[in-house]
Amino acid sequence: MPPPRIYLASIFARLRNLRSNIPPRLSRNHLKSAAPGGVERNAARYMLTVAQVYLGFHLTFKYFYKLEFTSGISMVPTIPHGINSSPPCILVSMLHRRGKGVKVGDVVVYTHPSNQTQACKRVIGMPGDYVCVVSPNREAEDLPTAAEEEEEDTFVQFKEEMIRVPEGHCWVAGDNLEWSRDSRIHGAVPLNLIRGKVLAVCLPFGERKWLGGGGLREVQEGGHELVIR
């Protein structure tokens, strides 16, 4: 016996029946037609607004711009240490996450490759660039005594050796070379760990400045001045 023939029209007719039995969806038009000032209407609107605000904040902070507080002395004098004052606040552009558009001289925020904390340093070399080998930073036990001050110290000396930054990585160093734990210790940083580029220092207000242009500039004749804080 041949199988019974099923016509498409009959399927559509059944679906149309089914659809007419489903109550209308919870849409705005539907809410408008409901009793004005109803509890359901207010609750739905409230939840919708909360969701929109949450999504807006999430997208802005995750993919566009973010204000972050920092601590530490590794970027003095570019970013203040904030030890005896309020912590400094920086504006970070997440548009540069994963090293997009980052150049040598930019200040970036990245996840530390060893201990997963957040760090903020200056980019010294991008993939394929050559950077100098610099002797490491001081640690707390290396605090200089008055006698040692006179001697030539071994910290932050440029050696006659070079490193080629591996592909997909960058080389970072804090502006306070003597007191910064950076690529001299943990090696090259994968570009994927870069969370964003620092555009500005916002707080403390007296030391506000733009950093977006990067630190690289034409060679200036004459010496550079001491910075005293």
Partner 1 sequence: MAPLVPTLHVSALQSELNTLPHGKPRSPPLDLSQAPRKELVQYRCNVRAKDGGGPPKQGQRAVIVCDPVVRFYRVCQDGLMVETTAWEGWKDKHVGAELGER
Q: How far apart are CA 130 and CA 128, in angstroms?
A: 7
Helix (H, G, I), strand (E, B) or coil at 145: coil
Q: According to the binding rule CB under 8 A, does residue 149 interact with partner 1?
A: yes
Helix (H, G, I), strand (E, B) or coil at 106: coil
125 versus 196: smaller Cβ distance to partner 1: 125
* Smallest distance, partner 1 to C-beta of residue 215, A: 5
Among 124, 191, 194, 211, interactor with partner 1 by CB under 8 A: 124
* Smallest distance, partner 1 to C-beta of residue 221, A: 11
Among 31, 44, 156, 200, interactor with partner 1 by CB under 8 A: 156
Q: According to the binding rule CB under 8 A, does residue 197 interact with partner 1?
A: no
Nearest CA among 129, 200, 219, 141 for reference residue 169? 129
Q: According to the binding rule CB under 8 A, does residue 105 interact with partner 1?
A: yes
25 versus 217: smaller Cβ distance to partner 1: 217
Catalytic residue among 20, 32, 74, 159: 74
Rounded alpha-carbon distances, angstroms, from residue 202 to 84, 107, 209: 17, 14, 7
Q: Let me know: does 163 contact 171? Beta carbons within 8 Å.
A: yes
Q: Choose the binding region for partner 1 from 47-55, 57-65, 128-136, 203-211 (rule: CB under 8 A).
A: 128-136
- How many other CB atoms sit within 10 Å of the CB of residue 195? 19
Structure tokens at 80: 């203040």
Q: According to the binding rule CB under 8 A, does residue 73 interact with partner 1?
A: yes
Question: What residues between 207 and 226 interact with partner 1 by CB under 8 A?
Answer: 215-220, 223-226
Q: How many CA atoms lie within 13 A of 68 on its CB side?
A: 23
38 versus 128: smaller Cβ distance to partner 1: 128
Q: Let me know: does 102 contact 170? Beta carbons within 8 Å.
A: yes
Known catalytic residue: 183? no
39 versus 149: smaller Cβ distance to partner 1: 149
What number of chain residues touch partner 1 (CB under 8 A)?
59
Q: Residues with Cβ < 8 Å from 77, sequence gap 6 or more?
A: 175, 176, 227, 229
Q: DSSP secondary-structure letter at 190?
A: E
Q: Which of the residues are catalytic?
A: 74, 121
Site residues for partner 1 per CB under 8 A: 73, 76-77, 104-105, 113-114, 122, 124-126, 128-133, 143-146, 149, 155-156, 158-166, 169, 173, 175-179, 183, 186-190, 215-220, 223-229
